[in-house]
């Protein structure tokens, strides 16, 4: 098991971005290792634990944003609500994704859900995609890929079969500071075909 201190990609006084491994849960219920079991190591001498500003599914890897105190968490939450934080994911899906299919906008549970898609590489058996969710619905990328007929590999819930899920939160752009450029953080991807 990786030490959570080794997963830190970015930190400042307001926020923290970690490279979340598969199996670490953002919610205290259900299977897997819960992040709060490890957040003590990230207090850096403070008594307040960082709190998750958004969620990644238990098997999704990559950039996870945390607020380092209540004000930071509130400000980050507002940025998510205003859709100002850009998130980019990488996924391996089953089948040859057509280049022309660059926007998925099927509603999820009656709510608007929009995902932009860029094909990075494709073969007859699988495609490597760059996904940008413009909305933040639960399981949005997994559902959209499955609805399009190209489930994410390893996603046993939505038709991608057994094994580790090939969905990775590759990049975050966080415009938290008014007089500075957005903070951009990337997490290395272990399954990328490059």
Superfamily of domain 86-168: Pseudouridine synthase (3.30.2350.10)
pLDDT at residue 47 tops 90: no
Q: Is the pLDDT of residue 2 over 60?
A: no
Q: Which residue has the tokens 């057509």?
A: 98
Q: What are phi and psi of 64, to 5 degrees?
A: -125, 125
Angle at 22 between CA 140 and CA 37, to 5 degrees: 110
Where residue 5 falls (left for φ over 0; alpha for ψ -120 to 50; beta otherwise) is alpha
**pLDDT, average across residues 24-43:** 68
Q: What is the pLDDT of residue 33?
A: 67
Based on the residue annotation, tell me whether 57 is a catalytic residue of this protein.
yes
Domain(s) labelled CATH 3.30.70.580 in the chain stretch across: 4-82
Q: What is the pTM of this model?
A: 0.91
**Mean pLDDT, residues 26-55 taken together:** 71
- Asked if residue 1 has pLDDT above 60, the reply is no
Q: What is the pLDDT of residue 6?
A: 76
Q: How confident is the model at residue 45 (pLDDT cuts 50, 70, 90)?
A: low
Q: Which of 6, 19, 57, 105 is catalytic?
A: 57
CATH of domain 4-82: 3.30.70.580
Q: Residues of CATH 3.30.2350.10 domain(s) within the chain?
A: 86-168
């Amino acid at each position: 098991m990786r030490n959570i201190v080794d997963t830190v990609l970015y930190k400042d006084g307001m926020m923290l971005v970690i490279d979340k491994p598969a199996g670490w849960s953002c919610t205290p219920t259900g299977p897997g290792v819960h992040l709060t079991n490890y957040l003590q190591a990230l207090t850096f001498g403070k008594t307040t634990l960082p709190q998750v500003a958004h969620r990644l599914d238990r098997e999704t890897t990559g950039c996870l944003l945390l607020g380092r105190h209540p004000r930071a968490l509130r400000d980050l939450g507002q940025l998510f609500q205003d859709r100002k934080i850009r998130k980019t994911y990488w996924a391996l899906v089953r089948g040859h994704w057509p280049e022309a299919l660059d926007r998925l906008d099927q509603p999820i549970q009656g709510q608007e859900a929009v995902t932009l898609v860029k094909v990075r590489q494709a073969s007859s058996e699988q495609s490597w995609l760059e996904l940008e969710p413009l909305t933040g619905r639960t399981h949005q990328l997994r559902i959209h890929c499955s609805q399009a007929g190209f489930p994410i590999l390893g996603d046993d819930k939505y038709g991608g079969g057994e094994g580790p899920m090939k969905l990775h939160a590759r990049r975050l752009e966080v415009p938290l500071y008014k007089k500075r450029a957005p903070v951009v953080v990337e997490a290395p991807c272990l399954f990328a075909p490059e």
